[in-house]
Amino acid sequence: MDTQVSPVVDPPTPASRGGPGARPPAVSRVALAAALLLPPRLTPESVRYDRRYRTVDRYRFVCWFLAPPLLIYTVLVIWPFLQAFFYAMTDWTGFGGEFSMVWSGNFSRMWRDDAFWDALANSLVLLVLAPVITLALGLFFAYMLNAGGRHRRSESVGGVRGAAFYKIVYFLPQVLSVAIIAIVWARVFSPRSGLVNTGLEAVGLGSLAQDNWLGGSWARWVILLVLCWSFVGFYVVLFSAAMAAVPRDIYEAALLDGAGRAATFFRVTFPLTWDTVRTGWIYMGIQALDAFALVIVMVPRGGFDVLPTYLYLKAFREGQAGYATAVGVVLFLITLVFTLVMMRVGRRDRIEF
């Protein structure tokens, strides 16, 4: 896989294609280059029978297949990403074309912006807690499903009965739109007709009911709960697959050595699935840094922000596109640092089995 021109360029030996004497006249490079733009059917025969045509044909195919995706991707993805780093240094409002460079001005303004720090704190709480809770629950359930059942004959470890059913049910939130999940949970936590408050009253704990779950200090924990809820099933399925890949004889050996379930989990299952756990951790952290839809639907009147919703507010409500982009850059840096740290911290020798 080198980046050089492909080695398939044919040697310029005079070869005869249509038998001796029938060799077509050599065509110019211009004609060959022009053939890049024509479909094979419309390419003149003189060009098609040229020895160099095969390379042209390959390049034509590669160009035509790459151009449309590359065009869309460059214009709509790469270009905005690059622009973001530029606009982050301007005081652009988003209305009209004029702006001036403020260089690091947006970042020093952020430093003094209490609302930004609130949003950052909320995002960081989610970033730290959501993966820990979700992955712990996911591992626990996955282990129960795979090794929590009673021992059967001829089996060292057995899953609980109905493991397939549990997996189907647990995974369900993952297929729903996050907007729908947000609405459902906003209703569950609704002060008057929600499940939580009426449920608490029904069991005599009415004093714990809150007038405003989705405002004030509770919002952060409700968002955390919903975030974890929607991903636990995903990790149960992911970890189940990883655990199923651990060979049975390792479990048998551990069992023969007298290891209980807890020891088996911490000494065998967890180390052997660590790679998947770590990848899942990074993925969940990225999801936790998003949380945009949950917050914007469940707390529509504001008062609780995470970085993405703060960015949205600044850019599309308050006309501070430059400042909002700078918030986006901070979000990107946090994602990057988190990913790098996780890849570094969790690295250990891969265990082959």
Window 253-292: residues binding other proteins (CB under 8 A): 255-256, 258, 260-261, 279-280, 283, 286, 289-290, 292
Question: In the window 52-111, what residues touch other proteins (CB under 8 A)?
Answer: 57-59, 61-62, 65-66, 68-70, 72-73, 75-81, 83-84, 87, 94
Beta bridge partners of 90: 101
Token pair in block for residue 12:
């310029």
Nearer to other proteins, 50 or 290 (CB): 290
Which of 18, 19, 45, 192 touches other proteins (CB under 8 A)? 192
**Amino acid at the residue 214:** L
CA distance linking residue 149 with residue 259, whole number of Å: 16
Query: Candidates 17-25, 27-35, 252-260, 344-352 — which segment interacts with other proteins by CB under 8 A?
Result: 252-260
C-beta atoms surrounding 208 within 10 Å: 11
Is 324 among the residues that bind other proteins (CB under 8 A)? yes
Is 205 among the residues that bind other proteins (CB under 8 A)? no
Q: What is the CA radius of gyration of the chain?
A: 30
Nearer to other proteins, 25 or 69 (CB): 69
* Number of residues located near other proteins, criterion CB under 8 A: 126
Q: How far is the CB of 143 from other proteins (least distance, A)?
A: 9
Token pair in block for residue 227:
């975030």
Which of 13, 193, 207, 217 touches other proteins (CB under 8 A)? 193
Query: Candidates 10-18, 100-108, 320-328, 345-353 — which segment interacts with other proteins by CB under 8 A?
Result: 320-328
Residue with tokens 């906003």: 186
- H-helix segments, the chain: 29-35, 45-48, 53-73, 79-87, 105-111, 114-147, 163-171, 178-188, 195-202, 219-244, 248-256, 261-264, 270-272, 274-290, 292-298, 307-312, 321-345
Query: Candidates 15-23, 29-37, 113-121, 238-246 — which segment interacts with other proteins by CB under 8 A?
Result: 238-246
Q: How far is the CB of 141 from other proteins (least distance, A)?
A: 6
Token pair in block for residue 223:
């968002």
Burial of 288 (0-12, 13-18, 19+ CB in 10 A): buried
Q: How far is the CB of 28 from other proteins (least distance, A)?
A: 22
Which of 229, 270, 274, 342 touches other proteins (CB under 8 A)? 229
CA distance linking residue 275 with residue 181, whole number of Å: 29
Nearer to other proteins, 241 or 272 (CB): 241
Helix 114-147 vs helix 163-171: crossing angle, to nearest 10: 160
Helix (H) or strand (E) holding 260: none
Is 121 among the residues that bind other proteins (CB under 8 A)? no
Is 194 among the residues that bind other proteins (CB under 8 A)? yes
Nearer to other proteins, 21 or 260 (CB): 260
Is 200 among the residues that bind other proteins (CB under 8 A)? no
